[in-house]
Structure 1
Amino acid sequence: MCPVSITWHLLRGAGALALIALAVLLSSAHPWTAPPAVIGALLLLRGCPMCWLVGLLERLSARKAAPASEATSQRG
């Protein structure tokens, strides 16, 4: 995995967090903004927040494992 994919994953999470905050903050003044903001956040997270977190942890573990596998392949 390249660092760009981790950066993209974090940017998607930040965008989703901003949309959720927008939905909460504006829901009393403009209740029609909350549903599209929550739907947009779910689309950015590609599901639930826990699924996003698990995906991030998988990417980080794959990134750690990649240099170790490259080092063993250079020995042989």
Structure 2
Amino acid sequence: MAGEPLGRHLVRGAVGFGALAGAIALVPLIGVAGLVLAPVGLVALRGCPACWFMALAETLSRGRLERTCEDGVCELRTPAGARSTGRHPGPG
């Protein structure tokens, strides 16, 4: 989420992706019991790794971009009325 501090967002990502990677890496060692980490990773990422990356971009933009997710499709765009380039048009 854009209102979330960057540090907290990065910790959620590290926990989430670490747990997902651990779940896959532990399967050869301890079998399907290693997959117990997968739900932990998904909860940390709030269910959607791609949306986590979108929220990271939104957090880094500090409100210059906003995320919309509809029907499982997420996209970034500039808020209504905001200039995407940050430049003002010159005269003439």
Which of structures 1 and 2 has the larger relative contact order (alpha carbons within 8 angstroms, sep 6+)?
Answer: 1
Unpaired runs of 5+ residues, structure 1, are 66-76
Q: Which has the higher helix share?
A: 1
Query: Displaced runs of 4+ in structure 1, greater than 3 A?
Result: none
Please give the root-mean-square deviation of Cα atoms over the aligned residues, in Å: 2.2
Unpaired runs of 5+ residues, structure 2, are 66-92
Q: Aligned pair count?
A: 63
Q: Which has the higher strand share?
A: 2
Instruction: Give CA-to-partner distance per residue, 1:6-46, whole Å, 9 cap, x none.
Output: 01000110111211121111112221121x21100000001
Tell me the equivalent position of 2:33: 32
The sequence identity of aligned pairs, in percent, is 32
SS in 2 for 1:28: helix
| TM superposition score normalised by structure 2 | 0.59
| TM superposition score normalised by structure 1 | 0.70
For residues 1-76 of structure 1, what are the structure 2 equivalents within 5 Å? 5-30=5-30, 31-34=32-35, 36-62=36-62
